[in-house]
Amino acid sequence: MKIKAIVIALLLVVNLGLLTAVVLSVVEDKTALAATAFAQTMPGSSKYLMVTGRYRKSRQALYVVNLQTRTLAVFTFDQAKKRLIYSGRASLVADFR
């Protein structure tokens, strides 16, 4: 009887360890997905390419490339007004010759 109780206690400890590992891996996966961006295709999406990134270390920017005219437009995000501000554009053909 004493060995049976020890085996049951050992199995309970192992199961608790496995349950903890599963819970921690699920929580870690959710935080990794929260910071991941996923691309979506739409009609006309072959004409444009959009990328987000930093602009001058402290600002967020949206870079839009028109693949037909080969131009790049830059929009920055104004956090105070919560809107995108057009910052300018450039010709990729002229800039990368």
The reply to whether the predicted model has a pTM over 0.85 is no
Q: How far is CA 77 from CA 39, 49, 69, 82, 94, in A?
A: 20, 18, 24, 7, 27
Domain ranges of the chain: 1-36, 45-95
- pLDDT tens profile 8-37: 888 898 888 888 888 777 665 555 555 566
> Do 75 and 85 form a contact (C-beta atoms < 8 A)?
yes
What pLDDT, in 10s, does the model give residues 48-94?
A: 888 888 777 777 888 888 888 889 999 988 888 888 889 888 888 88
Q: What is the SS3 assignment for the chain?
A: CHHHHHHHHHHHHHHHHHHHHHHHHHHHHHHHHHCCCCCCCCCCHHHEEEEEEEECCCEEEEEEEECCCCEEEEEEEECCCCEEEEEEEEEHHHHCC
Residue 13's φ and ψ, nearest 5 degrees, are -65, -45
